[in-house]
Structure formats: C-alpha cells, structure tokens
C-alpha cells in the first residue's frame, strides 16, 4: 500500500483529485520540513494551485494537519477492524490489534511518521475535542470487543489495557521510522503480539 493507494481508498473519484494532490504534497512537506516550518504557500507552490483552493478544502493549516491526521487514523482503523473481524477469542483479538498496527506502519511509513509528529499539534490545536471524541469511541469499541470474549483480562485496569497491548509495538515502530533500528516491524509482528498477550495475562490482581 502506497500513499496514493491510501488517498484513493479514503477519497475516491475524480472530484477528489485536487484534495488528494494537496494531501500528498502536504504530507511530503510536513515530513521533510517539519509541521511548524511548512507554510500554506509552500504547499500551494508544490500543488500548483491557489491558496484559496487549499483554504476551501481545509480552512487553514491547522485544518489541513488535522485532516491528514484523521485520514491516517481512519485508514489505520479500517485495517484494524478487518483483522478483528477474523478473530474469535480474546487472544486472537489482541494479536489482531498488534498485527494490524504493525502492518499498517510497515506499509504506510510516511503516514505513520507524520501521525507520530502531528499528534501533539492536533492534541493542542483547535481540533483537540474531535480527537478526544474519536479516541473515546474507538477505545470503548475495542474494550467492549475484548471484554465480550472472555474474562482473561479481569486483573488489568481498563485504562491501562490498550497501552499494554500496543505500547511495545508502538515503541519499536517509532524506532524503525527514526532509523534507530533496521529490522522491519513486520518481521517481529508475531513476537510483539505474543509479548502483548503476556503483558496482559501475567498481571496480578491489585
């Protein structure tokens, strides 16, 4: 899966062609120059369009950053849900969460790199309430899915559960994206998934 594939999947059709192009060029600039250093004028020049066209689609730079960020989250969630649909036990669900996370980062490194960098900006910006709302819905759905398939997780505080499941995979993916490690995350998806399962099943009750 390449950047163009992700955008065509999320924004299909000829009418969305300019929007996809703005997204594609903005993503590259944000990753190369940094979010703070990138200006709307730089994006306009790369897209060979007008500032008005960018503002029409996204409102301002903060709106463009948030739109890119939410697009990444939605695509990541789409893959996660497809993996979860195949899981029928709590353990299989935990493995599915880790596998989908790792596979998405491995196949979409530029989007994942942007997602990590942009999270702080979105958290502190005008779209922070939307992010909080999205996260609440997503986390509730995941916790309900896991809880409905057994009592294996009874000793784990619910607010800690998702961090235990994804934390180690996220740490390795960040290291890979920054070049600190060379092995693709997908090489270790099985080990990371099993480590996540052990981390939530070896927890003693308070």
The answer to the question of residue 206 being in a domain is no
Average pLDDT of span 172-187: 97
- In this predicted structure, what is the pLDDT of residue 203? 62
Find all residues with CB under 8 Å of 138, minimum gap 6, and list them.
Answer: 77
Q: What is the DSSP string of 36-90?
A: TT--HHHHHHHHTS-HHHHHHHHSSHHHHHHHHHHHHHHHHHHHHHHHHTT--SH
Of how many residues is the chain composed?
206
Q: pLDDT at position 77, please? A: 94
Asked if the model's pLDDT at residue 39 lies above 60, the reply is: yes
Q: What is the pLDDT of residue 31?
A: 97
Report in angstroms the alpha-carbon separations of 201 from 64, 83, 94, 141.
Answer: 41, 21, 11, 20
> For the residues 132-159, what does the mean pLDDT come to?
82
Burial class (CB in 10 A: 0-12, 13-18, 19+), 55: middle
Q: What's the mean per-residue pLDDT of the chain? A: 91
Tokens of 47: 């897209």
**What percent of the chain has pLDDT above 70?**
93
Q: What domain range includes position 113?
A: 3-201
The CATH code of the domain that includes 10 is: 1.10.357.10
Q: What is the mean pLDDT of residues 117-137?
A: 94
| 184 within domain boundaries | yes
Rounded to two decimals, the pTM is 0.90
The answer on pLDDT for 181 being more than 90 is yes
User: What's the pLDDT at 191?
Assistant: 98
Distance CA 106, CA 20 (A): 21
Assess if residue 161 is contained within a domain: yes
- pLDDT value of residue 145: 86
Q: Is residue 136 part of a domain?
A: yes
Split into its structural domains, the chain has a count of 1
Mean pLDDT of 26-43: 96
Residue 94 lies in a domain: yes
Classify residue 185: in a domain, yes or no. Answer: yes
DSSP single-letter state for residue 140 = H
User: Domain for residue 167, yes or no?
Assistant: yes
Highest mean pLDDT among 53-57, 112-116, 147-151: 112-116
Of 10-14, 171-175, 202-206, which one has max mean pLDDT?
A: 171-175
Q: Which residue has the higher pLDDT, 121 or 202?
A: 121
Alpha carbon separation from 104 to 8, 18, 54, 73 (Å, rounded): 16, 25, 28, 10
Per-residue pLDDT tens over the stretch 149-176: 666 676 788 888 899 999 999 999 999 9
- In this structure, is residue 193 part of a structural domain? yes
Q: How confident is the model at residue 204 (pLDDT cuts 50, 70, 90)?
A: low
């Amino acid at each position: 899966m390449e950047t163009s594939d992700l955008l065509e999947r999320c924004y299909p059709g000829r009418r969305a062609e300019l929007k996809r192009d703005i997204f594609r060029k903005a993503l590259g600039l944000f990753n190369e120059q940094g979010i703070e250093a990138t200006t709307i004028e730089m994006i306009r020049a790369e897209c060979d369009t007008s500032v008005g066209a960018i503002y029409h689609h996204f409102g301002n730079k903060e709106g463009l950053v948030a739109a890119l960020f939410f697009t990444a989250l939605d695509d990541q969630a789409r893959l996660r849900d497809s993996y979860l649909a195949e899981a029928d036990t709590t353990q299989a669900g935990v493995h599915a969460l880790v596998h989908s996370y790792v596979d998405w980062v491995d196949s979409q490194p530029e989007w994942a790199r942007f997602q990590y960098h942009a999270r702080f900006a979105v958290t502190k910006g005008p779209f922070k309430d939307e992010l909080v709302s999205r996260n609440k819905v997503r986390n509730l759905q995941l916790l309900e899915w896991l809880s409905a398939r057994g009592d294996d997780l009874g000793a784990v505080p619910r607010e800690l559960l998702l961090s235990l499941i994804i934390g180690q995979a996220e740490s390795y993916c960040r290291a890979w994206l920054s070049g600190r490690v060379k092995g693709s995350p997908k090489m270790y998806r099985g080990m990371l998934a099993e480590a996540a399962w052990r981390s939530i099943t070896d927890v003693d009750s308070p």
